[in-house]
Structure 1
Amino acid sequence: MNKKLREKIMESVAAVLPITAIVLLLTVAAVPLEVGTVLLFLTGAVLLIVGMGFFQLGAEMSMTPLGEGIGTQLFKTRSLPLTVGLCFLMGAIITIAEPDLQVLANQVPSVPNEVLIWTVAVGVGLFLVAAALRILFRIPLPRLLCILYLALFALSFVTPADFVPVAFDSGGVTTGPMTVPFIMAMGIGLSAARSDKNGADDSFGLVAFSSIGPILMVLLLGIFYRPDGSSYATVDIAQVETTRDVAAAFAVQLPHFGREVLSSMAPVLAVFLLFQFFTRRYHRGQLLRMAVGFAYTIVGLILFLTGVNVGFAPVGSLLGSRMADQLWLLVPVGAVIGYCIVKAEPAVQILNHQVEDLTNGAISRRSMNLCLSLGVSAAVGLAMVRVVTGIHIYWILIPGYLIALILTYFVPRVFVGIAFDSGGVASGPMTSTFLLPLSIGACTGAGGSVVTDAFGVVALVALAPLIAVQAMGVVYARKLRFAPEEAPAAPEEEDYIIDLDEEVCA
């Protein structure tokens, strides 16, 4: 096996294994499940692990160089219409292929998958344009974030309550393993080509903007779109008795998800071919590597979506529904899963390593790990409290974002960009594929409102790093202020950010 592929699969094992272990423990101690159902879950977990490994390596080999190439080329052309058009197009088509969004769309009642996916894709496209223009025209990030989030909350008050949690969840799932490598690489290309001392600093913010766009568009969808009915369709679990039945359940669905993946990846491949035809940017070796990367991406997506939709998510929903009689279990189970999930995310470990480098050890990786783990654990615990009590998501989101926005004025500028871009880091595939189905199943079993009480898990997980990273920034700023002679000098922001971007997108 390819060494790099083996590394990616082991990273996927680290992400999936904690949840698998918790589910097995629950089936023994509190919520017994049939043996066939457990086997279905375990098979889905295996496909999820292998699919994530192939997909992450493929995206790294193909989407990262494509994003950086397009960003650099756009700046060189200095054509504003071309920049606007291509940024919108690429933001939309990359989002359509995002697996986390497809998983979310399958779970949103009443709104057809295509309607939600295209709405979110348009939002990402529009705000990727806004992010690129911010880089080109050198507009400060904190002020824009404050204005945009205030506008979002103002709009949410006139949006039907059923759409608000889904809208904020949409912002979290779009910054997934497909979009983040491309968008961050595109930011590198745009900012590096600018060649001024603050250019690299402005490479942050594209992911943050790409999270705002979907929220805005889904809120607008809620105002103007009137779906027929609002009932949630319970997920059916394949009835299996033997290992052959399990294999057949997955084999039957493979062609369906194969067609879905090919149709969503076709526009990405078309843009890649057209870009190469007009620019001749990549030489033969790079083209071969990117072709292999696209193949890995397609294979990984097919395995990932099959594992999630046939085995992993349905069993998560079933587990939640069977916990309806003992809902108190949801809060500690959710908190433990949240604590484990964030520690297993490879991108989180890269973030922690780079913050340690930025502060020359003043903020250690261990401190960052603990801060993020506790933050996400609390976020998931609060999400489960919502399922149990039915409290409105505003009671958590508004104070949370208010704290995050206030902190932007008290931390070094680089921490603001890192924090808001890392909001999508914690809300990885495990959140949308297991935690959301778990909360939906529990809410359904308890007779609550799925759209208002169960959705919002992804949004709260994505909120945690905004506060946690900036809290570490406050600690660092205080150390510099009160003990300047002992605190290590901060490295140049420009050098640091280039290093961070290169490692994230490596």
Structure 2
Amino acid sequence: MQTMEVVLAEQLRDFAHALAHALRNLLPIILVVVAFQALLLQEWPEGGMGMIAGLLIVAVGVALFLRGLELSIFPVGKRLANQFARRGSMPILMLFGFAIGFSAVVAEPALIAVAEQASQISEGRIEALTLRLIVASSVGLVMALGVFRVILGHPLHWYMIIGYMAVVTVTFFAPEEIVGLAYDSGGVTTNIVTVPLIAALGIGLASSIRGRNPLIDGFGLVALAVMVPMISVQLYGILVYSDPGNVTGGVTWLTAQATDTQAPSGLLKAVLDLLGMLRDVLPIILVILFFQYAVLRHPLTNPLRVTVGFALVIIGLYAFVVGLKLGLFPIGQSMATQLIAFDNWLWVYLFAFSIGFATTMAEPALIAVGQQAEEAAAGKIQGNVIRLLVALGVAIGITIGVHRIITGDSIHHYIIGGYTLVIVLTALAPRYIVALAFDLGGVTTSEVTVPLVTALGIGLASQIDGRNVLVDGFGLIAFASIFPIVTVMSYAILMESLMKMRGKTT
């Protein structure tokens, strides 16, 4: 009994630490919104108390979620990767990579939300389920390819240069209705569950194989997971929009089902939502258990601890989604409406920059990857510097993306120009930073950033005359992914140049 009390006390202490950490990370968002409301708009937003309650629920959800990950998915995933690496079976490792990638993404709530929004806005031309399966299959294949690369020790920069040349080429031919959605679909594949798990898989493999460097070879899987869906979704869009008559009648069956059936309320709705969270996490749980028991044929080392962890993941995810609906979604839409009514675009730009910086500094996945990078680099990289560089890149990217919505410019030119710059920097940057930089571009689009940025983009596109929500509303997530790669690589190039200059002068 005493042992159980000690364990419970430790878990409560860890949860309190995680909750304080989550509240501290959400503080920049609150400060930005309060500053704009108090100093500029000078009015309290309608439903402001509900938004604050939503942000607090988000913090509780993130804390529960991260504790659940630490107890279950992270240790089990790392152990599986190490055991497969010791076995040395490439087919099993690639199959494991595919299964992890597909299962983690196919039921990802952010992807479901984006897919259903796209289906409604496109009047059924883009099918939500088809879009999700395309993205999930792409990520699964990418994970298998990434495992292959780590095992053979191929340099990542060639994969990224060739891959983004393909992205830019496909973007040139893709219809404008699909480009922003394609880049956003790539961005939302990297979330608070998939990023740390995929990063743990890559680092675990690199650490287990002789001659591999965890920093150079372990990172990069997240970058590939972002890149390939951009290509596959654009190819899907080319196919869909090549047939002018390919419209399914306004809404998908998912939307029709939601509107035709009376929505449950109260306790029943809460139970159904919680079961929905179980459905979202279940694929990755089943994959992990299948490989643990059916392939390795080893029991879990601490099944009770893992079970409690899985339960915390589900409850935390449920609280997080509830908080999003109450807090982050309304904030993005409300601020877009209020700032446009203020009739001064400068404040819109300033809010976009501020909220991009604040949401990124609050991003749990970025904090996790920054810590892993600092450990893998053995002092060569500082986690806090990485966070600041990435936050600056996101702030710049979202500001440029908002400018595109305001002016109505074609997203093609911005995307092609942005990734052309990325390709050039990839060729110039020191090898140790390339994989990490691309991964950092992916982790900026996670649970905190995506809802707020998506709501801001759609809110702006719906409020500005002459803008198409499908064409102009999507795409901000893409800009949030491109420019952190630029800032991190540029910083590494600058630091290396300064070191060389100092070496010559001494």
- Whichever residue aligns with residue 429 of structure 1, its letter is E
Preserved contact between residue 167 and residue 214 of structure 1 (Cα < 8 Å)? yes
Residues 472/282 of structure 1: CA separation in 2 closer, same or farther (3 Å cut): farther
The alpha-carbon deviation at position 298 of structure 1 amounts to 0.3
Residues 282/403 of structure 1: CA separation in 2 closer, same or farther (3 Å cut): farther
Preserved contact between residue 360 and residue 444 of structure 2 (Cα < 8 Å)? yes
Aligned to 1:473: 492
Aligned to 1:313: 329
Aligned to 1:456: 475
Say yes or no: does 1:411 pair with 2:429: yes
Q: 1:115 aligns with which of 122, 130, 137?
A: 130
For 1:409 and 1:153, the matched residues in 2 are separated by 16
2:154 is paired with a residue whose SS is coil
Aligned to 1:240: none
Aligned to 1:91: 101
394-403 or 310-319, larger mean C-alpha shift: 310-319
Say yes or no: does 1:436 pair with 2:454: yes
Q: 2:153 aligns with which of 138, 152, 157?
A: 138
Aligned to 1:38: 48
Preserved contact between residue 43 and residue 307 of structure 1 (Cα < 8 Å)? yes
Aligned to 1:493: none
Aligned to 1:176: 191
- Whichever residue aligns with residue 440 of structure 2, its letter is S
Preserved contact between residue 440 and residue 454 of structure 1 (Cα < 8 Å)? yes
Q: Deviations over 1:301-346 (max 9, x none)?
A: 1111122235431442243234333361321111111222233335
Aligned to 2:201: 186
For 2:314 and 2:384, the matched residues in 1 are separated by 36
Q: 2:411 aligns with which of 393, 399, 409?
A: 393
The alpha-carbon deviation at position 437 of structure 1 amounts to 0.2
Residues 127/367 of structure 1: CA separation in 2 closer, same or farther (3 Å cut): closer
Residues 373/432 of structure 1: CA separation in 2 closer, same or farther (3 Å cut): closer
- Whichever residue aligns with residue 423 of structure 1, its letter is G
Q: How many residues align?
A: 471
1:428 is paired with a residue whose SS is coil
Aligned to 2:21: 11
Say yes or no: does 1:343 pair with 2:353: no
2:167 is paired with a residue whose SS is helix
Preserved contact between residue 363 and residue 472 of structure 1 (Cα < 8 Å)? no
387-396 or 313-322, larger mean C-alpha shift: 313-322
Preserved contact between residue 5 and residue 54 of structure 1 (Cα < 8 Å)? yes
The alpha-carbon deviation at position 73 of structure 1 amounts to 3.3
The alpha-carbon deviation at position 112 of structure 1 amounts to 4.5
Q: Deviations over 1:155-179 (max 9, x none)?
A: 1222221111111112222111110
1:127 is paired with a residue whose SS is helix
- Whichever residue aligns with residue 50 of structure 2, its letter is L
The alpha-carbon deviation at position 252 of structure 1 amounts to 6.7
Preserved contact between residue 327 and residue 442 of structure 1 (Cα < 8 Å)? no
For 2:84 and 2:473, the matched residues in 1 are separated by 42
Alignment of 1:197-346 (within 5 A): 197-198=212-213, 201-225=216-240, 226-228=246-248, 253-278=269-294, 279-281=296-298, 283-285=300-302, 287-325=303-341, 326=343, 328=345, 329-346=347-364
Under a length normalisation based on structure 2, what TM-score does the superposition of the two structures give?
0.83
Q: Deviations over 1:457-489 (max 9, x none)?
A: 1111111221111112112211332223899xx
The alpha-carbon deviation at position 434 of structure 1 amounts to 1.0
Q: Deviations over 1:256-282 (max 9, x none)?
A: 422321122222222232223232545
Residues 179/466 of structure 1: CA separation in 2 closer, same or farther (3 Å cut): same
Aligned to 1:47: 57
The alpha-carbon deviation at position 421 of structure 1 amounts to 1.1
Preserved contact between residue 65 and residue 185 of structure 1 (Cα < 8 Å)? no
For 1:134 and 1:3, the matched residues in 2 are separated by 40
Preserved contact between residue 65 and residue 314 of structure 2 (Cα < 8 Å)? yes
For 1:106 and 1:49, the matched residues in 2 are separated by 26
Can you give the 5+ residue segments of structure 1 that lack an aligned partner in the other structure? 236-247, 488-506
405-414 or 294-303, larger mean C-alpha shift: 405-414
Aligned to 2:142: 127
Q: Deviations over 1:408-439 (max 9, x none)?
A: 23232111111011112222322211121022
2:173 is paired with a residue whose SS is coil
For 1:275 and 1:361, the matched residues in 2 are separated by 35
Say yes or no: does 1:69 pair with 2:79: yes
Residues 86/408 of structure 1: CA separation in 2 closer, same or farther (3 Å cut): same
For 2:249 and 2:84, the matched residues in 1 are separated by 45
Q: Deviations over 1:84-104 (max 9, x none)?
A: 333212211011343433443
For 1:346 and 1:449, the matched residues in 2 are separated by 32
Residues 347/90 of structure 1: CA separation in 2 closer, same or farther (3 Å cut): closer
The alpha-carbon deviation at position 199 of structure 1 amounts to 6.6
Under a length normalisation based on structure 1, what TM-score does the superposition of the two structures give?
0.83
Aligned to 1:242: none
Residues 135/354 of structure 1: CA separation in 2 closer, same or farther (3 Å cut): closer
For 1:363 and 1:66, the matched residues in 2 are separated by 27
Preserved contact between residue 458 and residue 469 of structure 2 (Cα < 8 Å)? yes
- Whichever residue aligns with residue 478 of structure 1, its letter is S
Q: Percent identity?
A: 29
Aligned to 2:4: none
1:174 is paired with a residue whose SS is coil
The alpha-carbon deviation at position 360 of structure 1 amounts to 8.6
The alpha-carbon deviation at position 395 of structure 1 amounts to 3.1
The alpha-carbon deviation at position 374 of structure 1 amounts to 2.9
The alpha-carbon deviation at position 141 of structure 1 amounts to 0.9
2:192 is paired with a residue whose SS is coil
Q: 2:175 aligns with which of 155, 160, 171?
A: 160
For 2:285 and 2:377, the matched residues in 1 are separated by 40
- Whichever residue aligns with residue 291 of structure 1, its letter is T
Preserved contact between residue 11 and residue 346 of structure 1 (Cα < 8 Å)? no
Preserved contact between residue 168 and residue 215 of structure 1 (Cα < 8 Å)? yes
For 1:135 and 1:141, the matched residues in 2 are separated by 9
Residues 34/204 of structure 1: CA separation in 2 closer, same or farther (3 Å cut): closer
